[in-house]
Amino acid sequence: MYHSDCDNAAILRQIDALFIPEGQTLMLLFGEKSGTDFPTLIKALAARGHSFFGGIFPGIIDGDRHHDRGYLLKSLPLLRPPLLLRGLDSADFQGPELSRALAPLREAATLLTFVDGLAANIAPYLSTLYQHFSPTTRFLGGGAGSLTLRQGPCLFTEAGLVQDAALIAAVDWEVGLGVQHGWHQLRGPLVATRTERNVIYELNWENAFEAYARVVNAQSEENIRPENFFSIAKGFPFGIFREKGEDLVRDPVAVGEAGEIICVGEIPENAVLYILEGEPDLLIQAAQGATQHCLREAPETIHDTLVVDCISRALFLQQDFTAELRAIIAPLTTAHPNLRAQGVLSLGEISSYREGYLEFYNKTLVLGLWH
């Protein structure tokens, strides 16, 4: 359920009133402007003996509305207590250590994972996660954090509120996945000839910003400059080409002093990129398409939903974003009248591509139907 009163006493009252089935774990997903006193809330929840986890996101989705204040309160059946992995930013982040931590979750069919969306090593983390589990495992999740793009504590368990971390919950439900974005190729290919994790230094062997600006300025009414970079670039993301599927979107969010472009998510060196453009109708159609795909494969009984939609889609679509949420809700409620679309506006989305490889997406809608 969505609740707007983020005062600790109000939150605890809601939790006390909630029927939590035996063995289930509380999931609390907050909008970044909730103003909640998290350390006190965490202590109080621990004192009540609840198992819980959660995160702070740019926004919360509840039906056809989204909020930067308030929270979703849900309970999920977990196979094990949620696992909090720290040090995702450290240069010596190593896969094998992660493997040891993940060993107890090995047999999970569904993994829910939230990451600090501004951490540096999301790609190696997800790669190790995929290697650790069988290809039949389904993955779902997203990036927590603030729209200010300033890194801060955004994930919590009983261990506290942390940044630079990943949270993993092995859910004892199966999940059907729908993943789609609707952005299409405008120009390309461009080769990312020099990159380092989420920073592009060179495109086609020349300064990344100069090469990018040349393409964008031909399309944009206003020339792109470092000062207006985010407001224009949100309409021209990069796409990493993938066969037999949509391009993998990378959101350019800032430009550095040397003309390097900073993205949300990793761009491998020598990746072949396209500059994408979006049309509201196509994006909304994609959201509907993802939902319909999800519903086609879903059984009759669905426990709950989890929508992970990119905050930059909301920023790009602006007032049309409500139409996107309605495009999700319409087929959902037709098939399951009592089902309510709820989730988060994220800094990057995580999913196996339906049943395929695990990816960190940008500007994409990921819909999970728990069954």
Partner 1 sequence: MKDNISIIQDISTLYELSLAVGKSLDLVESCSHFLDILLRRKNLYHASVWLLEPEEEAERARYHLAYASARYPRHSPALTVDAYVPRRLRREDSFALHPDEPDYQHASTGANEEGGSHAFFRLGELGFLHLASLQNHFRQRKELVQLHSVIQRFTLHVVACQTHARLVAANTQRAKIQRDLFASEAKLRKIIDTSLDAVVTIDEWGRITEWNQNAERIFGYSRSEAMGQSMTELIVPPQHRQNHHWGMQHFLKTGEGPVLNRRIEITAVDRQQREFPVELSISPIQLDGRYFFSGFIRDITDRKEAEAALLQAKQAAEQARLAERQFLANMSHEIRTPMNAVIGMTHLLYETQPNASQKDYLDALRFSADSLMGLINNILDLSKIEAGELAFEQKTFDLAELLHGLQQTFQFKVR
Give the position of tokens 């889609």: 313
Chosen residue from 131, 223, 228, 231 binding partner 1 by CB under 8 A? 131
Chosen residue from 22, 47, 136, 301 binding partner 1 by CB under 8 A? 136
User: Could you tell me the smallest distance in angstroms from the CB atom of residue 354 to partner 1?
Assistant: 8
**Under rule CB under 8 A, residue 104 binds partner 1:** no
Chosen residue from 13, 106, 214, 225 binding partner 1 by CB under 8 A? 106
Stretch that binds partner 1, among 143-151, 154-162, 327-335, 352-360 (CB under 8 A): 352-360
* DSSP states along 283-328: HHHHHHHHHHHHHHT--S---EEEEEEEHHHHHHHGGGHHHHHHHH
The structure tokens listed for 59 are: 């926004």
CB nearer to partner 1: give 13 or 242: 242
Question: To which H or E segment does residue 10 belong?
Answer: helix 8-17
Chosen residue from 130, 262, 280, 315 binding partner 1 by CB under 8 A? 130
**Under rule CB under 8 A, residue 127 binds partner 1:** yes
Chosen residue from 4, 204, 228, 270 binding partner 1 by CB under 8 A? 270
**Under rule CB under 8 A, residue 356 binds partner 1:** yes
User: Could you tell me the smallest distance in angstroms from the CB atom of residue 185 to partner 1?
Assistant: 9
Give the position of tokens 């989204």: 66
The structure tokens listed for 151 are: 């890194």
CB nearer to partner 1: give 116 or 359: 359
Across 79-214, the runs of DSSP E, i.e. the strands, are 83-86, 110-116, 138-144, 155-157, 160-162, 165-171, 175-180, 184-191, 194-196, 199-203, 206-207
CB nearer to partner 1: give 267 or 314: 267
CB 188 within 8 A of CB 247: no
Each residue 239-258 as x (binds partner 1 by CB under 8 A) or -, in order, gives -xxxxxx--x----------
User: Could you tell me the smallest distance in angstroms from the CB atom of residue 139 to partner 1?
Assistant: 11
Burial track 1-40 (b if 16+ CB lie within 10 A, e otherwise): ebbeebeeeebbeebeeeeeeeebbbbbbbbbbbebebee
User: Could you tell me the smallest distance in angstroms from the CB atom of residue 277 to partner 1?
Assistant: 16
CB 112 within 8 A of CB 207: no
Chosen residue from 272, 282, 330, 335 binding partner 1 by CB under 8 A? 272
Across 204-293, the runs of DSSP E, i.e. the strands, are 206-207, 238-240, 248-255, 261-264, 272-277
**Under rule CB under 8 A, residue 360 binds partner 1:** no
Q: What residue type is 12 in one-letter code?
A: L
Give the footprint of partner 1 on residues 175-204 (CB under 8 A): 189, 191
User: Could you tell me the smallest distance in angstroms from the CB atom of residue 349 to partner 1?
Assistant: 15
**CB-based contacts of 46, cutoff 8 Å, min separation 6:** 158
CB nearer to partner 1: give 236 or 274: 274
Could you give the CA distance from residue 328 to residue 6 in angstroms, rounded to a whole number? 27
CB nearer to partner 1: give 43 or 354: 354
Q: Residue numbers of the site for partner 1 (CB under 8 A)?
A: 106, 127, 130-137, 189, 191, 240-245, 248, 268-272, 352-357, 359
